[in-house]
């Protein structure tokens, strides 16, 4: 028997849960489907949210012969077999290829499709769980329209879960009763993945045997079959970088609650190294000179976490995340180094001034190296003006003091000293 998720698969766009930004009444994808003119497309989004279902529905409105391939198993031979049937009586109106998991196709496999996509004889509908801008080669991607499918809302998945139980009742002839919170739990635990939620509902049905012709679907049974399924995470995939990005931006935005949320998701995925590295980067990139001590404190928290291991590591890491989120912010160091790097990459380098060059060797004085250098510690306030930048960059400005207490105190200190030498 087919899995319940396949038996419940929608047959029209109106039956598809969610994705209203694409297939709602004013959705661009709905309008394309209704026009009957299907362009080359790629559907991008996490698993179990309707990409394959929508592709199946689209295939029904075209007169072209439908072929299906999966990037995990297909070869160039499979692609060539389809190409060989173009311009034959088998495909008088051309072919429609649905290629699932296109990210597993290598460059040569993807390029095999190119010329036939260009002349219109082959229409490609691809799907991928990974960012197409990273995994599809530019020449192929430029001929595809990208549609992003979003994770479903809890209420959308909950309605499908209830329909799954109704279907099981109809197929078995047995009545059922759901313990309070069952549908909501399955919808939330499966994090917007309809296929996973329906599969969990079917397993819960099977693990709750009927009593007097009625099945009582308990919350405990659902927790057993859906455990940790809400963790959509792949250390090599989009979710890895999206969660790290969200953690970083939440801390940069001084939102401690969001910072702890994303930290918890990363820690539950056992991604300790990535968290430690990112927190260390944030300390210098976003707190920076507004509170220089943050770097050493975060380093201590990271060292403690790595020594403790999970689950205790979550405590010092949470301290570090909250400290950074609530600390004053400055990106003055980041901006300074980026400006300097930009000058260097543009060729604005210049020779080191002779008086700054190394003079600790015989013959340096004859070359004029270190001659005329003034040792700042010999002067009042340990400062004396002299040229440090190369001649070509004389007067270049990279660092702006940030508008925070620490940097402004430094600015006032040096302004008072330097104005005496103007």
pLDDT digits (tens, 9 = 90+) for 96-136: 888 888 888 888 888 888 877 877 778 889 998 888 888 88
| Whether pLDDT at 24 is above 70 | yes
Assigned CATH class of 19-148? alpha beta
Strand locations in 201-346 (E): 214-217
The pLDDT score that the predictor gives to residue 291 is 94
- Whole-angstrom CA distances from 42 to 14, 73, 102, 243, 366 are 21, 19, 9, 24, 69
What is the arithmetic mean of pLDDT over 400-414?
Answer: 93
The pLDDT score that the predictor gives to residue 238 is 53
CA gap 320, 312 in Å, rounded: 14
CATH, domain 238-326, list 1.20.272.10, 3.30.420.40, 3.40.50.1980, 3.30.465.10: 1.20.272.10
What is the arithmetic mean of pLDDT over 258-278?
Answer: 89
Which is more confident, 228 or 2?
A: 2
Q: Which of 58-72, 185-199, 315-329, 388-402 has the highest mean pLDDT?
A: 315-329
CATH no. of 154-225:
1.10.8.60
| Whether pLDDT at 232 is above 60 | no
| Whether pLDDT at 228 is above 60 | no
Query: What residue spans define the domains of the chain?
Result: 19-148, 154-225, 238-326, 332-421
The pLDDT score that the predictor gives to residue 166 is 87
| Whether pLDDT at 36 is above 60 | yes
What is the arithmetic mean of pLDDT over 214-233?
Answer: 72
The pLDDT score that the predictor gives to residue 169 is 84
CA gap 216, 190 in Å, rounded: 21
Helices (H) and strands (E) in the chain, counts: 20, 7
Alpha-helical regions (H) of 69-181: 76-84, 107-111, 114-118, 132-135, 138-141, 154-172
Same fold yes or no, 154-225 and 238-326: no
Residue 100, strand partner residues: 70, 127
- Provide the whole-model pTM: 0.61
Least confident of 16-25, 245-254, 288-297: 16-25
CA gap 182, 122 in Å, rounded: 45
The pLDDT score that the predictor gives to residue 217 is 85
Angle at 21 between CA 18 and CA 23, to 5 degrees: 70
Decide the pairing of beta strands 122-128 and 95-100.
parallel
Average pLDDT, the chain: 86
The pLDDT confidence band at residue 262, using thresholds 50, 70 and 90, is very high
Which is more confident, 210 or 146?
A: 146
The pLDDT score that the predictor gives to residue 304 is 94
CATH architecture of 332-421: Orthogonal Bundle (1.10)
Tell me what percent of the residues of the chain surpass a pLDDT of 70.
95
| Whether pLDDT at 237 is above 70 | no
Ordered DSSP codes for 381-419: GG------S-GGGTT-------SSHHHHHHHHHHHHHHG
The pLDDT score that the predictor gives to residue 159 is 86
What is the arithmetic mean of pLDDT over 271-300?
Answer: 94
| Whether pLDDT at 376 is above 80 | yes
């Amino acid at each position: 028997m087919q899995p319940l998720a396949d038996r419940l698969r929608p047959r029209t766009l109106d039956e598809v849960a969610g994705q209203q930004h694409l297939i709602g009444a004013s959705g661009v994808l709905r309008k394309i489907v209704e026009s009957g003119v299907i362009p080359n497309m790629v559907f991008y989004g996490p698993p179990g949210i309707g990409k394959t279902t929508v592709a199946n529905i689209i295939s029904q409105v075209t007169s072209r012969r439908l072929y299906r391939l999966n990037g995990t198993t297909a070869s160039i031979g499979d692609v060539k077999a389809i190409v060989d049937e173009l311009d034959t009586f088998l495909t008088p109106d051309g072919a429609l290829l649905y290629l699932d998991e296109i990210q597993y196709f290598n460059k040569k496999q993807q390029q095999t499709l190119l010329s036939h996509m260009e002349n219109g004889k082959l229409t490609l509908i691809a799907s991928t769980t990974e960012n197409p801008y990273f995994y599809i080669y530019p020449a192929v991607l430029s001929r595809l329209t990208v549609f992003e499918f979003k994770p479903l809302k809890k209420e959308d998945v909950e309605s499908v879960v209830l329909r799954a139980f109704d279907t099981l009742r109809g197929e078995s002839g047995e009545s059922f009763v759901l313990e309070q919170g069952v549908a909501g739990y399955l919808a939330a635990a499966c994090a917007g993945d309809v296929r996973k939620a329906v599969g969990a509902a079917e397993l819960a049905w099977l693990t709750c045997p009927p009593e007097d012709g009625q099945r009582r679907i308990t919350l405990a049974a659902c927790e057993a079959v859906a455990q940790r399924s809400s963790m959509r995470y792949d250390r090599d995939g989009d979710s890895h970088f999206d969660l790290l990005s969200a953690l970083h931006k939440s801390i940069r935005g001084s939102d401690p609650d969001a910072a702890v949320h994303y930290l918890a998701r990363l820690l539950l995925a056992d991604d300790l190294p990535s968290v430690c590295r990112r927190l260390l980067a944030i300390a210098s990139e976003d707190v920076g000179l507004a509170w220089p001590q943050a770097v050493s404190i975060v380093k201590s928290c990271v060292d403690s976490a790595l020594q403790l291991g999970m689950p205790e590591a979550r405590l010092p890491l949470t301290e570090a995340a909250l400290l950074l989120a609530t600390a004053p912010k400055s990106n003055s160091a980041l901006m300074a180094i980026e400006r300097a790097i930009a000058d260097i990459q543009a060729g604005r380098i210049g020779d080191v001034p002779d008086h700054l060059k190394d003079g600790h060797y015989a013959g340096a004085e004859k070359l004029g190296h270190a001659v005329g250098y003034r040792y700042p510690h010999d002067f009042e306030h340990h400062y004396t003006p002299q040229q440090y930048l190369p001649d070509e960059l004389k007067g270049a400005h990279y660092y702006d003091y940030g508008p925070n207490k620490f940097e402004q105190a430094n600015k006032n200190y040096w302004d008072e000293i330097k104005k005496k030498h103007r």
